Structure 1
Amino acid sequence: MERNGQSEAISHSLADEQGHQNLEAMKAGMFLRKVRSRSWKRQRHYKLQEDCKTIAYKSNGIKMTDLFKKIFSISDVEVVREGHQSEALLSVADEFPAVRCFTLVFRGRRGNLDLVADSAKEAQAWIQGIRALMENMENMDESTKLDQWISDWFLKADLNKDGRINFKEAKKLLKIMNVDMNEEHMADKSESGTLEDQEFVEFYKMLTERTEVLDLFQDYSSDGKSLSQCDLEEFLREEQLEGEGSYEHALQLIDRYEPSDTARMNHMMSVDGLLMYLTSPEGSIFNPERQDLFQDMSQPLAHYYISSSHNTYLMEDQLKGPSSVEAYIQALKRGCRCVEVDCWNGSNGEPVVYHGHTLTSKILLKDVITTIANYAFKASEYPLIVSIENHCSIEQQEVMALYFRDILGDMLLTNTVDGVSSELPSPEALKRKILLKGKKIENESENPTGEVSDEDEAAEINKDSPPTNGKKSKQNLCKELSDLMFCKSVHFHSFEHSRTSAKSNEMSSFSESKAHKYSKEADFVLHNTRQLTRVYPSGMRTDSSNYSPVDMWNMGCQIVALNFQSAGMEMDLNDGLFTQNGCSGYILKPEILCKRERLFDPENPEERDDYHPLLFYVKVISGQQLPKVKQKEWSIVDPLVRVEIYGVPLDQAKQETKYIDNNGFNPHWNETLQFTIHTPELALVHFVVEDYDKASRNDFIGQYTIPFTNIQPGYRHVHLLSKDGTSIHPSSIYVHIKITEL
């Protein structure tokens, strides 16, 4: 795997002459301005490395002969935006034209990189070049991706860039990669005392030989050398429970994953082919049939869980953190279908968005609405609900109404007659529509001033604090804004009042504490079969932490709003639930939470008519290439795996394996964990890998969350994610799943 050859291959894959020129320009290096704000602009020298996978950069003042110290990978870039598509670049729009500006958006919570080139031509070289390289990396098969990953590590160790590393460097590198090794392991075929890059790849593959997969292969191979089509069919039927049509399925898998042309022609699969299948999306624990849109989207909105964000404008905490349109972009790109906009009077008659009465920064409402218009339907075509907290004067409310109408245009749902019908429309009927949710004037003939009670919203504004002197505040509402509200915010009186008087488009909001209080009442589940309910975090969570959404989902609450900017178990669960069904942001609630004639009680799931508990066995077999969590050279992780079940109270459970001492590279546990699942359709399974520490809290390594109903049985890989929910390829754990009736 020569680096120059690899570069030429990538150049060739970029096809046209322009693509080749872009690549050469990037490899030659270029000065670009890095912009953080109107007052912070610095020149940096950026250069594509010979591997065509990483970009190095250094400050203007450093000598050109010095090594580039700072590097980021093309695989870390999620998207390249052209023009003034960030607050930093908008702030310098009068100084630098859009054709010279672009933004690199990184995966996870890493900040964006805003850059300005000296010319439009240079900007396009980087924009088109990075996009082409990203596409090239996306199209690699798993085997090539692994080779790339190994090569990346080799390049880090090859400090003098001569294409070889000595034993000491190799040992140091492998410790960083969580491997311990002895000199006799070194595969120095050239007997030069060093490893060249291809030797290092072979050496690495020797160390990573999957004996547990080889044993499985031998169990099903008729001749001990390969899996015939019949052998593979038997494996798929007996272990993977892919019984129907598995003969044809076996042939498809051989064609798709077998690297040997000879074996493929003879309808055989080698151990390498089996490993490629097991590590592919088809061999994943997540049933691929449920990753695309598979649910009925024609039921009323109240029958769906809706991915929902709280204080969407915030990047950090809700006391002094920055507000940014980038927070809306990130939430919408993650499939969020309900965003929050807190509107306050701004200077020069321009409404602003921020967390009122705090030190959080302010952004213009018109910029927020423009961002929503641009990104509303990039991740999902299903309706977007915009929840509005309105604290503006009549004059600025008129400006709000004007912006919503003019900027959103045809996307804005305007047929907002009270009541709509006995039920809300379906996600399918509302495709590519934006629904505003907020206060509405009750009845214009009876209330000509447009005065509305602010009691429910006041509770939301003050985040659980009671109104001053116990008095209910009032607010005058602009008719033009009121008329745009599709979902009407109403004060919650009682479940009985809701049952007899509520219109289908009326929605109440509950703080997490109030929602927990009402969850003790059986009517809450029934209420949520008819009405949309929004739940939001307590105002005491000044650090923008989150509550567990599971208890609210168990009650059928649709809009369980979380602080998307705060990583942690709660967002893991949210991501896990909404990863299915095409990442559409809408998940059809289980039938037990939609039927009005049969009331489901999460506290007593065994009382349901169709109660069928399941036994869930997870054999945690091994781990692969777990990331290092402590950067000290001598430190290697001591990993353990914990499996946590979230769902109805009877299902809440967690078990963990023992820890493996000093091996994050290829640890073997071979431990079986067992759970009883009483309500499978509400259960989520959370895999957590940690570095054991007897003296302090364990360090997080990786996680993965999956709805129980989406789990594939058999031998599967769990591909681990970071705290931010982004892939940490090739890290995984290898498990065997068995599900039986109790």
Structure 2
Amino acid sequence: MAGARPGVHALQLEPPTVVETLRRGSKFIKWDEEASSRNLVTLRVDSNGFFLYWTGPNMEVDTLDISSIRDTRTGRYARLPKDPKIREVLGFGGPDARLEEKLMTVVAGPDPVNTTFLNFMAVQDDTAKVWTEELFKLAMNILAQNASRNTFLRKAYTKLKLQVNQDGRIPVKNILKMFSADKKRVETALESCGLNFNRSESIRPDEFSLEIFERFLNKLCLRPDIDKILLEIGAKGKPYLTLEQLMDFINQKQRDPRLNEVLYPPLRPSQARLLIEKYEPNQQFLERDQMSMEGFSRYLGGEENGILPLEALDLSADMTQPLSAYFINSSH
């Protein structure tokens, strides 16, 4: 909740960062014992750390949501191939005694019970160790696990941009598959944005920018709830909020009145102006200290309005202290 941050706390958590090795990509042999298959692939991670992706033998881009990764293993903890043919192809039984250090197993699934195992073998030495450590860091990042609505929308956009066809274009069928609840509405929204909407067609990546994707979502998913909020705070008939109206909404509607005003001070005009600068896409509204409906929608989906406040994510109990410290700190 915006404006409800204590002045005594500084966030210690760091957002996920993707190292150059993962962005650039590394060569691996992807093997599957059940299908008795092995393919040379180039593993990469997008710059936001959303997806692990590679091009399969059918020339289609396969993606794995990094947030679904439960564990990454290498060395003796990775899965070893049991099929004699795969072992022979991968070089097991040969003079190289360090083959285990080239193995990498990615355990992924919607929960810790229902998991699948993706098996890889690095072409170069020490590559598997770097990838195992960095992928696990990205998957376990607390800020990434508690991302905002805007981040998840950017994640959906990133997936569409990654899964291009052989011509480097975005298939319309991928967009229809992502929003499969009402394909007719999806086609209408694409058409209203001037994009191809035929299932068999594709879209050039430069025609499908993040701004176009947001406009497409606004056409697809109407927000009558935002209209209701604007009506309640006195912006009826106006396509924008003034600086004072935004402050009143945050301080009167969003802020918990039980909070201490010293530790959790109400939002000030300078802070509200920073929010407008952060979320308002229209320069004319920005110059007049106003926030449009689009900017207000972005603000509601931002990190300031997450389910959990960011400063609460790095709080943990220090179990190394004596029992008396617990009683002292809890006696309030």
TM-score by length of 1: 0.30
Provide Cα deviations, 1:543-580, integer angstroms capped at 9, x if missing partner.
Answer: xxxxxxxxxxxxxxxxxxxxxxxxxxxxxxxxxxxxxx
Secondary structure at the counterpart of residue 53 of structure 2: strand
**Structure 2 match to 1:187:** 192
> Does structure 2 conserve the Cα–Cα contact (< 8 Å) formed by 1:79 and 1:104?
yes
CA distance in 2, matches of 1:154, 1:119: 29
**Structure 1 match to 2:266:** 246
Bigger relative contact order (CA 8 A; separation at least 6):
2
**Structure 1 match to 2:251:** 237
Q: 2:274 aligns with which of 246, 252, 255?
A: 255
CA distance in 2, matches of 1:114, 1:128: 16
**Aligned-CA RMSD value:** 5.0
- Go from structure 1 to structure 2 and tell me whether the alpha carbon gap of 1:147 and 1:179 turns closer, same or farther (over 3 Å shift): farther
CA distance in 2, matches of 1:382, 1:114: 37
**Structure 2 match to 1:313:** none
Q: 1:271 aligns with which of 284, 289, 293?
A: 293
TM-superposed deviation, 1:212: 1.2
TM-superposed deviation, 1:124: 4.9
> Does structure 2 conserve the Cα–Cα contact (< 8 Å) formed by 1:164 and 1:195?
yes
The amino acid that maps onto 2:182 is: V
Secondary structure at the counterpart of residue 120 of structure 1: coil
- Go from structure 1 to structure 2 and tell me whether the alpha carbon gap of 1:251 and 1:80 turns closer, same or farther (over 3 Å shift): farther
CA distance in 1, matches of 2:244, 2:154: 31
CA distance in 1, matches of 2:68, 2:36: 23
User: 1:57-206 counterparts in 2 under 5 A?
Assistant: 64=57, 66-68=58-60, 71-77=63-69, 80=72, 83-84=75-76, 86=77, 88=79, 96=98, 99-106=101-108, 108-109=111-112, 110-111=115-116, 113=118, 115-124=120-129, 126-127=131-132, 130=135, 138=144, 143=150, 145-153=152-160, 162-165=168-171, 169=173, 172-173=176-177, 176=180, 178-182=181-185, 184-185=188-189, 186-187=191-192, 189=194, 196=203, 197=205, 198=208, 201=213, 202-206=215-219
CA distance in 1, matches of 2:157, 2:178: 11
1:217 equivalenced with 2:227 (yes/no): no
Provide Cα deviations, 1:633-670, integer angstroms capped at 9, x if missing partner.
Answer: xxxxxxxxxxxxxxxxxxxxxxxxxxxxxxxxxxxxxx
How many residue pairs align between the two structures?
Answer: 272
> Does structure 2 conserve the Cα–Cα contact (< 8 Å) formed by 1:174 and 1:180?
no
CA distance in 2, matches of 1:130, 1:22: 9
- Go from structure 1 to structure 2 and tell me whether the alpha carbon gap of 1:77 and 1:225 turns closer, same or farther (over 3 Å shift): same
> Does structure 1 conserve the Cα–Cα contact (< 8 Å) formed by 2:30 and 2:120?
yes
Provide Cα deviations, 1:87-135, integer angstroms capped at 9, x if missing partner.
Answer: 747x99x964664344434362224545442442432564477479768
> Does structure 1 conserve the Cα–Cα contact (< 8 Å) formed by 2:74 and 2:100?
yes
- Go from structure 1 to structure 2 and tell me whether the alpha carbon gap of 1:155 and 1:24 turns closer, same or farther (over 3 Å shift): closer
TM-superposed deviation, 1:152: 2.0
Secondary structure at the counterpart of residue 254 of structure 2: coil
The amino acid that maps onto 1:246 is: P
**Structure 1 match to 2:240:** 226
Rg bigger for which structure?
1
Q: 1:382 aligns with which of 319, 323, 330?
A: 319
> Does structure 1 conserve the Cα–Cα contact (< 8 Å) formed by 2:243 and 2:290?
yes
CA distance in 1, matches of 2:161, 2:78: 38
**Structure 2 match to 1:283:** 305
Structure 1: gaps of 5 or more residues: 1-12, 59-63, 294-378, 384-423, 430-587, 592-742
CA distance in 1, matches of 2:307, 2:65: 28
CA distance in 2, matches of 1:74, 1:242: 35
CA distance in 1, matches of 2:310, 2:182: 32
CA distance in 1, matches of 2:248, 2:133: 48
- Go from structure 1 to structure 2 and tell me whether the alpha carbon gap of 1:255 and 1:142 turns closer, same or farther (over 3 Å shift): farther
- Go from structure 1 to structure 2 and tell me whether the alpha carbon gap of 1:246 and 1:80 turns closer, same or farther (over 3 Å shift): same
TM-superposed deviation, 1:255: 2.0
Secondary structure at the counterpart of residue 246 of structure 1: coil
The amino acid that maps onto 1:425 is: L
TM-superposed deviation, 1:55: 2.0
Provide Cα deviations, 1:487-537, integer angstroms capped at 9, x if missing partner.
Answer: xxxxxxxxxxxxxxxxxxxxxxxxxxxxxxxxxxxxxxxxxxxxxxxxxxx
Secondary structure at the counterpart of residue 239 of structure 1: helix
1:47 equivalenced with 2:60 (yes/no): no
TM-superposed deviation, 1:230: 1.7
> Does structure 1 conserve the Cα–Cα contact (< 8 Å) formed by 2:242 and 2:289?
yes
> Does structure 2 conserve the Cα–Cα contact (< 8 Å) formed by 1:96 and 1:116?
no
Provide Cα deviations, 1:320-343, integer angstroms capped at 9, x if missing partner.
Answer: xxxxxxxxxxxxxxxxxxxxxxxx
Q: Which is helix-richer, 1 or 2? A: 2
CA distance in 2, matches of 1:207, 1:150: 14
> Does structure 2 conserve the Cα–Cα contact (< 8 Å) formed by 1:30 and 1:45?
yes
TM-superposed deviation, 1:149: 0.5
> Does structure 1 conserve the Cα–Cα contact (< 8 Å) formed by 2:160 and 2:175?
no
> Does structure 1 conserve the Cα–Cα contact (< 8 Å) formed by 2:78 and 2:103?
no
Secondary structure at the counterpart of residue 47 of structure 1: strand
CA distance in 1, matches of 2:150, 2:229: 20
- Go from structure 1 to structure 2 and tell me whether the alpha carbon gap of 1:254 and 1:206 turns closer, same or farther (over 3 Å shift): farther
> Does structure 1 conserve the Cα–Cα contact (< 8 Å) formed by 2:148 and 2:301?
no
The amino acid that maps onto 1:278 is: L
> Does structure 2 conserve the Cα–Cα contact (< 8 Å) formed by 1:116 and 1:123?
yes
**Structure 1 match to 2:4:** none
Secondary structure at the counterpart of residue 72 of structure 1: strand
CA distance in 2, matches of 1:239, 1:116: 54
- Go from structure 1 to structure 2 and tell me whether the alpha carbon gap of 1:106 and 1:254 turns closer, same or farther (over 3 Å shift): farther
**Structure 2 match to 1:570:** none
1:31 equivalenced with 2:29 (yes/no): yes
Percent identity of equivalent pairs: 14
Structure 2: gaps of 5 or more residues: 1-16, 83-91
**Structure 1 match to 2:6:** none
> Does structure 1 conserve the Cα–Cα contact (< 8 Å) formed by 2:28 and 2:120?
no
The amino acid that maps onto 2:177 is: L
Secondary structure at the counterpart of residue 181 of structure 1: helix
Secondary structure at the counterpart of residue 30 of structure 1: strand
TM-superposed deviation, 1:271: 2.5
TM-superposed deviation, 1:208: 2.0
Provide Cα deviations, 1:42-93, integer angstroms capped at 9, x if missing partner.
Answer: 74534336967342475xxxxx5x3358542334335645544x3747x99x
CA distance in 2, matches of 1:129, 1:161: 31
TM-score by length of 2: 0.57
CA distance in 1, matches of 2:197, 2:179: 22
- Go from structure 1 to structure 2 and tell me whether the alpha carbon gap of 1:144 and 1:124 turns closer, same or farther (over 3 Å shift): same
TM-superposed deviation, 1:146: 1.1
TM-superposed deviation, 1:207: 0.8
- Go from structure 1 to structure 2 and tell me whether the alpha carbon gap of 1:259 and 1:83 turns closer, same or farther (over 3 Å shift): farther
